[in-house]
Amino acid sequence: MSRFSIVALRGILAVVLAGTLFVQLVMVPMIAVNEVSHPGAPDVPAVALLAYLVLAGIVIEICSVCVWKLATRVARSTVFDPASSKYVGPIIWSIAAGSLATFALAALLAPGEDIAPGMVLLIGGFGILLAGISVIVFVLRQLLLQATQTEAQAAALRTELGGVI
């Protein structure tokens, strides 16, 4: 990757992190205060949605930090090192947790009359999409491990060839 690509990626990740923190620290509390100010008990869909927003923010933050670390390794040409795979695991698990949380949100919203069945179906479809992304990242992690092994084998062969010459 070129230096410009890495700088652009880091800029995007910084904006994503700032936006996620804004939602978690400003928007969710504002919505929660607005929800509590209404007479009566807060409804389950609103509380579930706020909890989901906080959890989704955590998932996005974990993924952003890990991608930032991987971009740093790319910039230093050390991405094909076994240590790189430790940054991919949290991405897989956080996206999988986000998928489960999305299914839980859909299940909480399904029984009520307030949310249309089509909306619940869309939320469930988003959960399936997140599960698919988690599997894709897992496959990419396997490819990274394979490339790391290939790089190590090539280095060993270069050393052996240097000894023969």
**pLDDT (0 to 100) of residue 148:** 84
Q: Which domain holds residue 62?
A: 3-164
Taking every pair of Cα atoms in the chain, the longest distance, rounded to a whole number of angstroms, is 84
Number of domains in the chain: 1
Of 21-35, 48-62, 138-152, give the lowest mean pLDDT range: 138-152
pLDDT in tens, 88-144: 999 999 999 999 999 999 999 888 777 888 999 999 999 999 999 999 999 999 998
Higher pLDDT, 157 or 55: 55
Q: CB neighbours (10 Å) of residue 103?
A: 17
Residue 41 has pLDDT above 70, yes or no: no
**Phi, psi angle pair for 114, to nearest 5°:** -70, -35
- Which residues make Cβ contacts (< 8 Å) with residue 66, sequence separation at least 6? 87, 88, 90, 91
For residue 82, give the DSSP letter. Answer: G
What's the pLDDT score for residue 68? 95
User: Which tens digit of pLDDT belongs to each residue from 43-84?
Assistant: 778 888 999 999 999 999 999 999 999 999 999 988 888 888
Q: pTM to 2 decimals?
A: 0.84
